[in-house]
Chains A and B, each alone.
Chain A
Amino acid sequence: MKISRTLTLGSLAIAMILGGSVAPSAHAADALQLYAALDYSTDVAAAFTAKTGIAVNLTALSTGPLLAKITAEKNNPQWGAYWADGAEPCAAFDLDKQLLHYTPKGAHLNAVGQKLAPKNGAYQVPGFTEMVGVVYNSSKVRKPTSWDDLASADFKSQVGMNNPSVSGPTYPFIAGLMEQFGGEAAMKTYLTKLKDNGLRAFDKNSKTLAALYTGVINVGLVQSSAAITAVNNYKAKPVAGLTPEVTYLSKTTVLPSCLAIDGKASAFQQDAAKKFADFVMTSEAVQIMTKSNTGDSLFWPTLLGSKPSIAATRMPSFTSGLIQVVDPYKYAPLQGAVQDWFTKNIA
């Protein structure tokens, strides 16, 4: 058995030495632990470090895996700040008393920002996109004009959407349907009608758009930023037979980008996260966020005087009368049951 001991010890030593040789200071006390699901978070974090000297350890993933990590870490949270699209998870964290309430210093919100930011300071909202942008292949189908139109024979087996159980931004869309159709039952009736008309459900924006690109569907209900990006990509490299266009149906639901601070984090983490929130809610940070003019950068800022990137202005503005705001604290508690229903009946 000596041989087993020697081999085991030797192999472990290899793993630990080699693993340790590239181990980062992931939990160093002097770095903010930022969990983010937005493309621009890397650039914003770098600018924040340059400005304040506070290092940021960025864990960049999509919303689902990030929330799974946060839930698994619940008895010993490792994150200082969480930043992603969608207010319902933050509202759920807040109802579970997991968040530190904070109002950033010097943030001057416009009228929309004041409407979207929770009064108790549970999370910050530097901007918003919209759910959903209806992206359609105008070479194959006509422009949809209303929610009922999507359930008509012209769009039979043509429509696809994201699964709200997997796609972070999609539950607010479902909440928006409940809000405008008058409740959960009406929303279920409508989605069932779409399903009967051949609705396909895909995991998230990228999968729904992939289905549109390959012609599996010709109408995709996705986040506005994803819809505009799809159109821009094809304008840059046109392909015959695929002419994506975007339209918005009344009502389109606001999807806030939310930054929350962990209420159980160490004093250093909370202090660094507050400073990060202060930075995010400045026009300097908004400029960095909107710079790329693609993907997540296509949003309406909520700060007075901050301008969106050019492509984002194709989304309906708050004053257009096309968009609605839903109360995340009302719809967050319903999320689990509604998504369960969606998975079993629509997906």
Chain B
Amino acid sequence: MTIFWLVIVSILVLPILLFLAVAFSPKLLDQGPEWFTFNSFKAAADPYFLRSIWHSFVMGVVSSIFATAIALVVAWIVLRTNSAARKAWNLAIFALLLAPSYLIALGWERIFERAGVLNIFGIDLPFVRDLLFGPVGIAMILTFKGIPFAYLVISNAMRGLGEEFEQAVRVHGGSRIAAFKMMSTLLLPALWSGIAIVFAESISDFGVASQLSSPGRYSVATFTLYRSVMSIPVSFPLCAAISIILLGLIVLALFAQSRALRGRSFRVLSGRTRPITRQKLSPLGSVASNASIYVLLILTLGVPVFGAISASMIQGLGTVISNYQINFDNYIRVIKSPLLRSPLLFSAEAALMTATVAVILAAISSRMLVSTKNGPGKKFLDFFLLAAVGLPGIVFAIGYIFAYNLPLAQRYGFHLYGTVALLVLAYIATALPSTTRSLVGNMNQFQESLSEACRVHGSNGIKTWLTVVLPLISRPLLAAWCLTYCGTLLELPVSQILFPPGHAPLAVGIDHALGNYDFGGGTAMEVFAIISALIVVAVAFALYERLAPVGWKQLGRAHQ
């Protein structure tokens, strides 16, 4: 375990701690004259900053609860019923994960903004517009963005939960609602994981904040933090102080999670877990379930797709009443340009490495998080994994400069800063928390007796993992791999600060195109990237279906 901890400390703990230390000791990294001070906290206590932190907390709570509740219902419809819409959802889930939050916000903005789509058709809804550019709009889009994260966690856990528990309720006279309640209770670890992930993702999200937040309307902490990091001149001690307050919110989320799960066992995944039988919905139930899935898909996926299309294909939308043009010029230009190909290939390669390594480390981390031993190591890992989700990417990237650009390290020939290797390590560290959380629900269901039985019969640790653990978590591992690949491909903040000269990642290339007033070209590059990622996900699942042993694919399978 020493090596594992060394890795965690190097890629996760050290950059975070060094960044946060600047709040107390700016002189430590040449960011100010004081060795020890609380001045940055005085600046952070400004009502403007405190208000934005409070707003973030409220947005995090609201979006995590709504996203998890919606994801639970969707998971039930998709995995436990014969609803026809379930296939559409399965196809759409990775597109949903891939849609950058700012694109979702942009789509909504395009519809309701002044001179937007509704205005073009003569409809003006200033009341709805005011709601959108405020807490309601931010919470709604953060909820939409959070649903796929919560869904992946909950659905993986639901697959491991056979239907025998629900049948037991029904056999003893319980209603369908009572059976649903029983299932929800057994899924509590996954539900809390979902809430924790969505909460942390929401309070660290910048895409929505950049589109819909502003100090004059409704500022959130990431908006304030990004503005502070990108301000000229930048004050890292102030940013660190705001980050520490933000971390306080994460501690609250962790505390709530641990209180809710303390002293209970949720280990339901065993050798006796059987395929479930899908519930046949009544005609009314069928219509209702289909309608809710399709409405959800239109809201979460249709609107950002419209945002992307309107930006990349429609010239002059919003300015023109009747004469706008739709064409593929931007896509053709991007295909011909070498400026797209090399960033896309570079980012695909980096995402491939990141996903592979992050999934392996996440499997170990999640196993440790669900371990029955409640030692300090587990709490330490838990805190830093969630802290890394809660801290915006740009803060993490600056922490990497602080940690890997130390004169002392370079004096001893440790030159990682400015290399692809460091960029990939930073990607892994950024991906590790959410990848780990996405596996915690499954690991929590895993009964130790399975491994123990294997070991008692003479199997060594590696063989036990390969023959007992891996088959049971193979599909969640694949989902986590796809999640990480998609998330890394379009990652911007870490890429922007840490990319090595001459190796611009995709998001930096897109940002460059947008910054050079090539809005159509930049968005077309984004659409290409999303399509390429969907192809990778489709290939990964196709290979799994074709190559994985039959037994691996049994878990969560339903009788038709």
Contact = CB atoms under 8 A, between A and B. Distances in A.
A267 interface: no
A216 interface: yes
Interface residue tally on B, bucketed by range: 35 or more
A6 B3 CA distance: 9
B319 A206 contact: no
Interface residues of A, number: 83
A344 B115 contact: no
B517 A204 contact: no
B401 to A, nearest CB: 4
B405 A7 contact: no
A26 interface: yes
Interface stretch (B353-361, B385-393, B535-543, B551-559): B353-361
B465 interface: yes
Interface in B1-36: 1-4, 7, 29-31
Nearest to B469: A3
Nearest to B407: A76
B43 to A, nearest CB: 10
B231 A166 contact: yes
A165 B215 contact: no
Contact of A26 (B110, B317, B500, B517): B500
A308 B460 CA distance: 74
B149 interface: no
Contacts of B464: 3
Contacts of A12: 7, 357
B159 to A, nearest CB: 24
A215 B114 contact: yes
A67 B357 contact: no
A50 interface: no
Interface string B396-415: 00100110011100100001
Contact of A343 (B215, B321, B407, B465): B215
Interface string B461-480: 11011000000000000000
Contact of A339 (B110, B113, B231, B406): B231
A72 B316 contact: no
Contacts of B98: none
A165 B232 contact: yes
B134 interface: no
Given A67-B232, A336-B235, A20 B421 contact: yes
A14 B516 contact: no
Given A14-B356, A72-B402, A74-B31, A347 B214 contact: yes
Nearest to B359: A11
B517 A233 contact: yes
A329 B232 CA distance: 15
B236 A335 contact: no
Nearest to B405: A76
Contact of A168 (B232, B407, B423): B232
Contacts of A168: 232
A127 interface: no
B315 A19 contact: no
Contacts of B496: 61, 65
A168 B113 CA distance: 27
B214 A14 contact: no
Interface string A1-31: 1111111111110111011101110110000
A209 B517 CA distance: 8
B318 A215 contact: yes
A88 B517 CA distance: 25
Interface in A143-202: 163-166, 168, 171, 201
A213 B232 contact: no
A78 B418 contact: yes
Given A6-B462, A335-B232, A242 B353 contact: no
A140 B487 CA distance: 41
B374 interface: no
A198 B223 CA distance: 22
A8 to B, nearest CB: 5
A89 B232 CA distance: 7
A239 B420 contact: no
Contacts of B363: 7
Nearest to B316: A239
Given A3-B462, A59-B501, A240-B320, A9 B3 contact: yes
Given A23-B419, A241-B321, A74 B1 contact: no
B235 A214 contact: no
A96 to B, nearest CB: 9
Interface string A80-118: 000000001100100000000000000000000000000
B227 interface: yes
Interface centre among A1, A62, A335, A343 (most CB of B within 10 A): A343
Contacts of B216: 346-347
A132 interface: no
A171 B232 contact: yes
B364 A7 contact: yes
Given A71-B31, A71-B236, A206-B515, A11 B360 contact: yes
B330 to A, nearest CB: 12
Nearest to A16: B421
A62 B1 contact: no
B295 interface: no
B418 A27 contact: yes
Interface in A37-73: 39, 57-65, 67-69, 71-73
A18 B234 contact: no
B497 A69 contact: yes
B407 A5 contact: no
Interface string B250-273: 000000000000000000000000
B353 A15 contact: yes
Given A8-B364, A22-B503, 19 more contacts: A3-B464, A5-B1, A8-B4, A15-B421, A15-B424, A16-B421, A68-B497, A72-B402, A74-B29, A75-B406, A166-B230, A205-B517, A206-B514, A214-B115, A216-B114, A216-B318, A239-B320, A241-B319, A295-B517
7 contacts: A15-B428, A20-B421, A27-B417, A72-B402, A78-B405, A166-B227, A240-B316
Interface of A: 1-12, 14-16, 18-20, 22-24, 26-27, 33, 39, 57-65, 67-69, 71-76, 78, 88-89, 92, 137, 139, 163-166, 168, 171, 201, 203-206, 209-210, 213-216, 226, 229-230, 233, 237, 239-242, 295, 335-336, 339, 343-344, 346-347
